[in-house]
A and B are shown apart, each in its own frame.
Chain A
Amino acid sequence: METILEIKNISKRYDDITVFEKISLTVKRGEVVVIVGPSGCGKSTLLRCINSLEDIQEGEILLDGVVINPTSKDLSQVREKIGMVFQSYDLFPHLTILQNLMLAPLKVKKADKKETKKEALELLDRVGLLSKKDSYPRQLSGGQKQRVAIVRALMMHPEILLFDEITAALDPEMVKEVLDVVLSLAREGRTMVIVTHEMQFARAAADRMVFIDGATIVEEGDAKEFFDDPKTDRLRKFLRSFSYD
């Protein structure tokens, strides 16, 4: 399979704090990579670096073989290809749901208005929110907002989707409705990098698991093996912290 995202030996530091050191990761087209690790291990920062929301001090990140960095002139064009959904609900509060979905395609891609609207309505229908098209974000629950945020990212036809703990701020009963959407995207072959604390979901969605701890990738591999037969003590300990028996 063709490589779509290549992270080569990147390091991220704030003054004298090292967030991560010499991390490398390759994502192939259609692959779902799930990153887990203790809080503060830098997994969210890693996602933000892919999108150049954070700069890196060493190494390079390539999307389709093209280097991404925060000073690139064509950064906006690169970001079009990367869809990102954040932990906090980040819909634009002054726009209706439909307007939220159509803003970027119309302004950034200069897409046709009629087609864009048609696509937006189809996608909303798919996540069960067609009736909310003219509502404002404040009228939606957290789970509904996150589903809209996912659709908004999809509207740009990204080559890769980044999900940054998208259920971490949700009430527990809303987690499933959001993860179901992500799972269905995984099944239809979307390329995704997901940071999450939901282990059951990770197991269901992931082609490949990555465990980050202490500023580095400690273990990575096939999802089944990762959960059933972890190789390192650190991962075993981490996985045990999620079970009660």
Chain B
Amino acid sequence: MGFEVLAKGNNAMRLLEGLGVAMRISLISVVISIVLGVILGVLVELKRPFIMAFFRVYLEIVRIMPQMVLLFIVYFGTTKALGLNLSAEAASIIVFSFWGAAEMADLVRGALGGIPVIQYESAASLGLTRIQTYRYVIVPQIVRRMIPLSINLITRMIKTTSLVMMIGIVEVLKVGQQIIEANRKSSPNAAFGIFATVFLLYFLACWPISQLAKYLEKKWEN
């Protein structure tokens, strides 16, 4: 079945390291996305026409453009056009954060806009100050709405990191390909074993996260 290749040399370890690269890129990008996304989302919810127009264009670009094209633009394009020498990993973190910040901002905007005015009013009429209203009433509701959604974004990012091998990053999928190539003669079936393992690794990385999202969603459904 081709699983025997895993036992050769340090192939199994290399695959895990490849997964590590993928996880590192996605987690750093997620953190940047959350920070930028929250700031941008709050700005958009202020409903200033200029910010809203900017955000719409930004969001459309992110949604329309395949991530791979963005990767190519940032990695190959900037080197020539701007004379910047970005590492492949930096380029992919920029692209993933660019994408994630837009999605996060949209989530934040939706969560903020989805809190009915009456929640602010009833808190105010109980004598809560503006700050207390946000602290005890509004923000907890927003966090509850957003955490499950942003966890889904994390799993999508982990999956999408498989694209970064196109700009030369040796992540789990690329490692798999290398192993298959190197063992083409001795284990012609390696492709199945290796890709099945890669599948399993992605599954193991994403499944607990999406279970957590499900759990929180259930716990917090209002």
Question: What residues of chain A have their CB less than 8 Å away from a CB belonging to chain B?
Answer: 51, 53, 76-77, 79-80, 82-84, 86, 88, 90, 92-94, 103-104, 107-109, 136-138, 149, 152-153, 156
* Chain A contact surface mostly: mixed
Inter-chain contact B220/A82, CB cutoff 8 Å: no
Residues of A within 8 A of B137 (CB): 92, 103
Main secondary structure of the interface of B (DSSP, over half): helix
14 more A-B residue pairs beyond the given contacts A53-B124, A79-B127, with a C-beta to C-beta distance below 8 A = A51-B125, A76-B129, A79-B125, A84-B125, A86-B118, A90-B116, A93-B141, A94-B222, A103-B128, A107-B128, A108-B127, A136-B222, A138-B222, A149-B122
Would you give the 0/1 interface string for B116-133, flagging 1 where the beta carbon is closer than 8 Å to chain A? Answer: 101101111111110010
CA distance in complex: A153, B124 (Å):
12
In the bound complex, CA of A206 to CA of B121 (Å): 26
Cβ contacts under 8 Å, A109 to chain B: 127
- The number of A-B residue pairs with CB atoms under 8 Å apart is 65
Whole-angstrom CA separation of A138 from B220 in the bound complex: 11
Minimum CB–CB distance for B137 against chain A, Å: 6
The smallest beta-carbon distance between B117 and chain A, in angstroms, is: 10
Q: Mark B186-222, 1 if CB is under 8 A from A, else 0.
A: 0000000000000000000000000000000000111
Cβ–Cβ contact A80 & B136, under 8 A? no
* Closest-CB distance, A143 to chain B (whole angstroms): 18
Report the separation of the CA atoms of residues A152 and B122 in the bound assembly, to the nearest whole angstrom: 10
**B residues in contact with A138, CB < 8 Å:** 221-222
A51 vs chain B, min Cβ distance (A): 5
Chain A residues whose CB sits within 8 angstroms of the CB of B14 once the complex forms: none
Q: Which residues of A contact B220 (CB under 8 A)?
A: 94
Chain A contacts for B127, CB-based, 8 A:
76-77, 79-80, 104, 108-109, 156
Bound-state Cα–Cα, A76 to B133, Å: 11
A108 near B121 with CB under 8 A, answer: no
**Cross-chain contact B125 with A53 (CB below 8 angstroms):** yes
Bound state CA distance, A79 and B133, in angstroms? 14
A76-B127, A76-B128, A77-B127 known; A90 and B221 CB under 8 Å?
no
Distance in Å: Cβ of A144 to nearest Cβ of chain B: 16
Q: Which are the 6 A-B pairs with shortest beta-carbon distances?
A: A80-B127, A93-B222, A104-B126, A90-B122, A84-B125, A108-B127
